[in-house]
Amino acid sequence: MLTKKQKDLLLLIKSHLDKSGIPPSFDEMRNAVGLKSKSGIHMLINSLEERGFLKRIPYKARALEILKMPEELNSSNNSELPFYGRIAAGVPIEAISNPETLEVPSDMISPNKQYYVLEVSGDSMIDAGILSGDKVIIQNCDSANNGEIVVALVDENDVTLKFFHKEGNSIALKPANKNYETKVLSYDRIRIQGKLAGLLRKY
């Protein structure tokens, strides 16, 4: 799955190559995807090259070759969701402005609910089949039932993906990896920011 900026840049390059055989200039790329610096374009090109969509031609300025186009560009049955990347500690989800967007299959979400996408960092949920680098679709909500996997904000500082269990007046956030400990915290220290609705993985 590509972010909206990655997709827009790839489509721009393809359009220029199809019309003239020459890739767009860095300024044209920067303006088209709404970035202020050329370094951001270099990062997008690097990410597309790493994923096998683009190839730089050595010893030629601005020389780029399209190797393939992603399948999602050929599908109209997709929905765009906010993509917040790897959430850093100290950044509540609702405080993040101007997120990227990511296309996901529409049959993975319900039309009457709100969702966003996160990238998983770490291996605390591997026994639940969630690996570092996976992208998870999160239904936006502020409550959960026991046994559901939630995005929890702890002490307004630490965002984590764990199993939710209410135990009396406390909440247990349980990992799915025996090398990690369960955190049992008072109810007022935890704010639910969503629950797991789906998982995206590239093999």
Q: Are 142 and 192 in contact (CB under 8 A)?
A: yes
Asked if 124 is an active-site residue, the reply is yes
At 157-199, the pLDDT tens digits run 888 999 999 988 899 999 999 999 999 999 999 999 999 999 9
Asked if 55 is an active-site residue, the reply is no
Selecting among 5, 7, 162, 183, the annotated active-site residue is: 162
Q: Where are the domains of the chain?
A: 4-73, 78-200
Instruction: Specify the pLDDT at position 66.
Output: 87
At 90-139, the pLDDT tens digits run 556 765 666 788 888 888 888 788 999 998 988 999 999 999 888 999 99
Selecting among 5, 7, 124, 135, the annotated active-site residue is: 124
- CATH for 78-200 is 2.10.109.10
Instruction: Please give the class, per CATH, of domain 4-73.
Output: mainly alpha
Q: What's the pTM?
A: 0.64
Beta-carbon count within 10 A of 24 CB: 20
Specify whether the backbone of 52 is left (phi greater than 0), alpha (psi in -120 to 50) or beta.
left
DSSP string, 70-101: -GGGG-SSEEEEEE--SPPTT--GGG--S-EE
At 47-81, the pLDDT tens digits run 898 888 898 887 666 688 888 887 655 555 778 89
Task: Measure the CA–CA gap between 101 and 4, rounded to whole angstroms.
Answer: 5
